[in-house]
Amino acid sequence: MMVESASETIRSAPSGQNGVGSLSGQADGSGSGSGAGAAGTAGGGAGRDAAAGADSNGEMSPADLLHFQQQQALQVARQFLLQQASGLSSPGNNDSKQAASAVQVPVSVAMMSPQMLTPQQMQQILSPPQLQALLQQQQALMLQQLQEYYKKQQEQLHLQLLTQQQAGKQPPKEALGNKQLAFQQQLLQMQQLQQQHLLNLQRQGLVSLQPNQASGPLQTLPQAAVCPTDLPQLWKGEGAPGQPAEDSVKQEGLDLTGTATTATSFAAPPKVSPPLSHHTLPNGQPTVLTPRRDSSSHEETPSSHPLYGHGECKWPGCETLCEDLGQFIKHLNTEHALDDRSTAQCRVQMQVVQQLEIQLAKESERLQAMMAHLHMRPSEPKPFSQPVTVSAADSFPDGLVHPPTSAAAPVTPLRPPGLGSASLHSGGPARRRSSDKFCSPISSELAQNHEFYKNADVRPPFTYASLIRQAILETPDRQLTLNEIYNWFTRMFAYFRRNTATWKNAVRHNLSLHKCFVRVENVKGAVWTVDEREYQKRRPPKMTGSPTLVKNMISSLSYGALNASYQAALAESSFPILNSPGMLNPGSTSSLLPLSHDDVGAPGEPLPSNGSSSPPRLSPPQYSHQVQVKEEPAEAEEDRRPGPALGPPNPSTAGPAEDRDLEEELPGEELS
């Protein structure tokens, strides 16, 4: 124990190395200690890799942003729990316990002290569906509030318009026309705002929240997470355009800034004191919305009371205004003393809570079903998945954003749906090889949960080696430059959008270390390829002798065989899509899986009988198209032949087999 804790503390130090230290509250607890210990040597701060750290600085924005927002989502959930808990406990301690026991959500846990929970703990306590449900509710609530808010603003606008008309004594037609136009535009834009916000809420952690947090330290963030009224502020907020993220949003946000400000100015509430102070409140009065002039009081009284807010009593059905807390307490004691009426109201409140909980359960069930539906069949034409992959190059920075996909499947739970609880132990490093093993072929699992990993800051349960291999094999020509590999990582995994120095180093390390990765020189530089034989060789030793080995070998063999045909069949269809320059994505995700049956196999050496490099039989259609459309095809071609690679459908005949078989024939070997 001591050791662990020690290592933990130490570990935090290196995290700072990323400069981004701040946010790297580092929930991930990536290394579960491991390397940290090595920190003993740490003294000198990485001369070169520190430089890499700098680069991480650059990337921090989108990536860390994402991470951060996820945290916020958790925070929201946490608050929700807190409120539920307090809502239950405060009104009447009498029956609250029974009520609590009834719930499916571990309210009991929540009652302990949700605030103390770390995101990880939250993740553990709440199953993803539950969390999701919580978030949904929260969102629904906020939406409601938001809509009311905007409705009010619209009314105000109407009013304003009317008064202007009257006051202005029938301004000339065109003037009026203009005004109306402007007005309509405002309405329109307000609607846009609404939608925008809605979207944001839906994506919850995935997108926006841009402006402020860039500039501000994160302390401000946690609370800012949701309050709808904050939005105008955000928009106004001199929009720190720093973020590369989310073009559309940014853009829209900019548009809106102007109008937003005007709109708000109509509606009065000065930016600093939003009319409604708090989101939340499952229990009660969304009425909070009413813009209060004297926001002064509401500004949290030092020792606030859960039933007191906005200068008024929040006891159900009672909105008595109280100047200060003292007065409120007095009011509470007189008006809501322990009597029949109060207890009855308390009971009602409990029922409300119960109802909510039931609803929550239902919603979470529904969510689960939805997720099951969406994730269980990767082959299905992903409705939304056009995003990303703008072809290797620089795609990554925004990889996380746009996908409408995120809108739909967005915040996804914190655990890959496909996996059991196994893989995630909160910070647990992915080193669990268990999952990496045969039991879950990287490709299929990746395919299944690929959306998840893309958006959730969760460490994928695969080894670096298998990931690298996957990246390489996914490309048409089975070769990638180091940088492209990096990009693949960042594109495919939210997790790898942070701590770049660390994992990039690991990637390089793995490339060098494992024989299965072969570096091929190019005119333009070097690319990395996979020597499948080596790769397969690598695994068996690990589990040598184990009874499972045999089993696995067998299964893998059959799997491989099956897969071969499957792959062959798919080769023609999916590949082109994959490669096709223009469209990219839609295929990418789905095509991804058939591609590599990867890890599964690991049949010792059974497959490629040929020790030598002779191109094995296989090779049916393989890549007739090969097209390295990718852009930056340059290097690809180089390797084998300077000529325009595109043409020859059948490369095999083309060149000197030797070097090429190295990479090209790989697919074959895999298959058979």
Catalog residues that contact DNA under the rule CB under 7 A. 3-4, 7, 11, 14-15, 17, 30-49, 51-52, 54-55, 429-434, 437, 462-465, 481-483, 486, 499, 501-503, 505-506, 508-514, 519, 525-526, 528, 538-539, 541-543, 545-546
Residue 526 vs 569, nearer CB to DNA: 526
Residue 37 vs 621, nearer CB to DNA: 37
Instruction: List the alpha helices (DSSP H) in 495-607.
Output: 500-513, 532-538, 540-543, 547-579, 585-595
Q: How far is the CB of 650 from DNA (least distance, A)?
A: 29
Closest CA to 538 of 599, 588, 596: 599
Residue 255, Cα to own-chain centre: how many angstroms?
26
Q: Torsion-angle region of residue 499: left (phi > 0), alpha (psi -120 to 50) or beta?
A: left
Residue 7 vs 200, nearer CB to DNA: 7
- Distance in Å from the first CA to the final CA of the chain: 48
Closest CA to 495 of 575, 590, 428: 428
Residue 30 vs 619, nearer CB to DNA: 30
- 200 in Cβ contact with 245 (< 8 Å): no
Q: How far is the CB of 394 from DNA (least distance, A)?
A: 12
Q: How far is the CB of 395 from DNA (least distance, A)?
A: 15
Pairing of strands 517-521, 526-530: antiparallel
Residue 120 vs 510, nearer CB to DNA: 510
Q: How far is the CB of 599 from DNA (least distance, A)?
A: 10
Query: Taking the CB of residue 651, how many other CB atoms lie within 10 A of it?
Result: 19
Q: How far is the CB of 516 from DNA (least distance, A)?
A: 10
Q: Which residues pair with 410 in a beta bridge?
A: none
Closest CA to 497 of 205, 211, 219, 216: 205
State the DSSP code for 480.
B
Residue 315 vs 438, nearer CB to DNA: 438
Nearest-angstrom CA–CA distance, 202 and 63: 19
Q: How far is the CB of 44 from DNA (least distance, A)?
A: 3
CA angle 650, 654, 658 (to 5 degrees): 115
Residue 357 vs 670, nearer CB to DNA: 670
Q: How far is the CB of 207 from DNA (least distance, A)?
A: 26
For the chain, give the number of residues. 672
Residue 46 vs 218, nearer CB to DNA: 46
Residue 6 vs 358, nearer CB to DNA: 6
Query: Taking the CB of residue 393, how many other CB atoms lie within 10 A of it?
Result: 12
Nearest-angstrom CA–CA distance, 516 and 519: 10
State the DSSP code for 310.
T
Q: How far is the CB of 32 from DNA (least distance, A)?
A: 5
Q: How far is the CB of 630 from DNA (least distance, A)?
A: 16
Q: Which amino acid is at 183?
A: F
3-state secondary structure of 384: coil
Q: How far is the CB of 458 from DNA (least distance, A)?
A: 13
Nearest-angstrom CA–CA distance, 379 and 591: 8
Residue 42 vs 408, nearer CB to DNA: 42
Positive or negative: CA dihedral 601, 603, 605, 609: negative
- 243 in Cβ contact with 205 (< 8 Å): no
Q: How far is the CB of 449 from DNA (least distance, A)?
A: 16
Residue 271 vs 432, nearer CB to DNA: 432
Q: How far is the CB of 50 from DNA (least distance, A)?
A: 8
Residue 61 vs 619, nearer CB to DNA: 61
- 53 in Cβ contact with 106 (< 8 Å): no
Residue 276, Cα to own-chain centre: how many angstroms?
28
Burial, 206: exposed, middle or buried (Cβ in 10 Å; 0-12, 13-18, 19+)?
buried
Residue 38 vs 159, nearer CB to DNA: 38
Q: How far is the CB of 545 from DNA (least distance, A)?
A: 7
Closest CA to 248 of 196, 174, 308: 196
